[in-house]
Chains A and B, each alone.
Chain A
Amino acid sequence: MKLTGPLERVLRVMTADPSAPHYGYDLMKAAKLPSGTLYPMLARLQQDGLVDSEWEAQREDAGGRPPRKYYRLTAEGLRVARLELAQAAASAPARQAGYGATRPAPGSTR
């Protein structure tokens, strides 16, 4: 897996709260990515077993909204994502982050 800028943003959003499920538009907004970048990436992550998806159960209070597909990091995905983000943070040149910079705090932004 090669950590590109967009992928890093997606992983950052997803690792911020690993248990929270995300649907596509939610991720697009949070990671500020167009759908043409996000969905191929999600498909690739899913193929590699790093991301899991499930269909939302039909709810009464949804107001006739069609069920969404939710994405979530798998345990393996979370491990890999944390590792990759930590490596990216460690190899980034001359960032004044001090100690503890090897693992970015959840939700930290650059």
Chain B
Amino acid sequence: MSRAPLIQRIAERLIRAACRRLPADVRAEHCREWAAELPAILDDQSVRPRLRRALRALSFCAGISRTTRQLSRSARAGARSTRNSRWRTGALPYQSPNVAVRAILGFFIWLGIVLGFITLTRERPNLHSWQLMLILALAVGFDAFCLVDIARAARVRYLPKWAWVLICLIQTPGGGIAYLSIGHIGRPRPVPPGDVKP
């Protein structure tokens, strides 16, 4: 066989992309290890037909992607937790709700703001300029808050940072709410007290 099958090359590429998240000193080794698993998956005769093996290889890659995300997060967790401790000291460990809950909450907040704004402009067609200024100031302040949060975050979810910045700027306040509810990663979960290292 002169060339690896297409699916294997695709999977190797996915693994390499996932490994880019890892610190440079362990990247090559992990990449080699996971790429070496691919032939075993693709030649696993207990899984039939071939399509299922291909799907399995792809889901393997998805798992690798999750793995590298988790590994790089735990590698950075130390630095981030010391930086954030200024803000939340002595508080109970905050567990951020999962993404779906945050997305729904964020949507309703956005809906509330938009509906409020629509009623405001309907009921009082000629707003005073200071009221407009107030709304503008709020909007700019919220945007600034989101941008600062993106800039300070070690990582953001789902999209690269610049994409979130664009979204925040284009759609005020919806973009910012979307970022805070979906893209924002909270503090890393603290180690539970009962976690005894052997």
Chain A positions near chain B (C-beta within 8 angstroms): 1-2, 23-26, 28-29, 34-40, 43, 48, 50, 64-69, 76, 80
Which of chain B's residues has its CB closest to A80's CB?
Answer: B198
B195 is contacted by which of A1, A43, A65, A67 (Cβ under 8 Å)? A1
Check A24/B34 contact, CB under 8 A, given A65-B39, A66-B39.
Answer: yes
Given the complex of chains A and B, what is the CA–CA distance between A59 and B82 in angstroms?
47
Residues A34 and B33 in contact, CB atoms below 8 Å apart:
no
Chain B 16-47, CB-CB to A under 8 Å as 1, else 0, gives 00000000000000001111110111001000
Q: Which residues of B contact A50 (CB under 8 A)?
A: 198
B63 is contacted by which of A34, A66, A69 (Cβ under 8 Å)? A34
Residues B67 and A69 in contact, CB atoms below 8 Å apart:
no
Q: Which residues of A contact B36 (CB under 8 A)?
A: 23, 65-69
- The 22 sampled A-B contact pairs (Cβ below 8 Å) are A2-B192, A23-B37, A24-B34, A25-B37, A29-B44, A34-B59, A35-B34, A35-B59, A35-B62, A35-B63, A35-B67, A37-B63, A39-B34, A39-B63, A43-B67, A43-B71, A66-B36, A67-B36, A68-B36, A69-B32, A69-B33, A69-B36
Q: Closest Cβ of chain B: how far from A64's Cβ, in Å?
A: 8
Q: Which residues of B contact A28 (CB under 8 A)?
A: 60
Which of chain B's residues has its CB closest to A64's CB?
Answer: B1
Chain B positions near chain A (C-beta within 8 angstroms): 1, 32-37, 39-41, 44, 59-60, 62-67, 70-71, 192, 194-198
Given the complex of chains A and B, what is the CA–CA distance between A35 and B18 in angstroms?
13
Given the complex of chains A and B, what is the CA–CA distance between A80 and B67 in angstroms?
24
Q: Which residues of A contact B64 (CB under 8 A)?
A: 35-36, 39
Q: Which residues of A contact B33 (CB under 8 A)?
A: 24, 68-69
A25 is contacted by which of B40, B67, B196 (Cβ under 8 Å)? B40
Residues B60 and A66 in contact, CB atoms below 8 Å apart:
no
Residues B66 and A36 in contact, CB atoms below 8 Å apart:
yes
Residues B196 and A1 in contact, CB atoms below 8 Å apart:
yes
Residues B37 and A24 in contact, CB atoms below 8 Å apart:
yes
Check A23/B40 contact, CB under 8 A, given A35-B64, A36-B64.
Answer: yes
Q: Which residues of B contact A29 (CB under 8 A)?
A: 44
Residues B195 and A2 in contact, CB atoms below 8 Å apart:
yes
Which of chain B's residues has its CB closest to A77's CB?
Answer: B198
Q: Which residues of A contact B39 (CB under 8 A)?
A: 65-66
Q: Closest Cβ of chain A: how far from B5's Cβ, in Å?
A: 13
Q: Closest Cβ of chain B: how far from A42's Cβ, in Å?
A: 9
Residues B66 and A68 in contact, CB atoms below 8 Å apart:
no
Q: Closest Cβ of chain A: how far from B177's Cβ, in Å?
A: 29
Q: Which residues of B contact A35 (CB under 8 A)?
A: 34, 59-60, 62-64, 66-67
Residues A40 and B34 in contact, CB atoms below 8 Å apart:
no
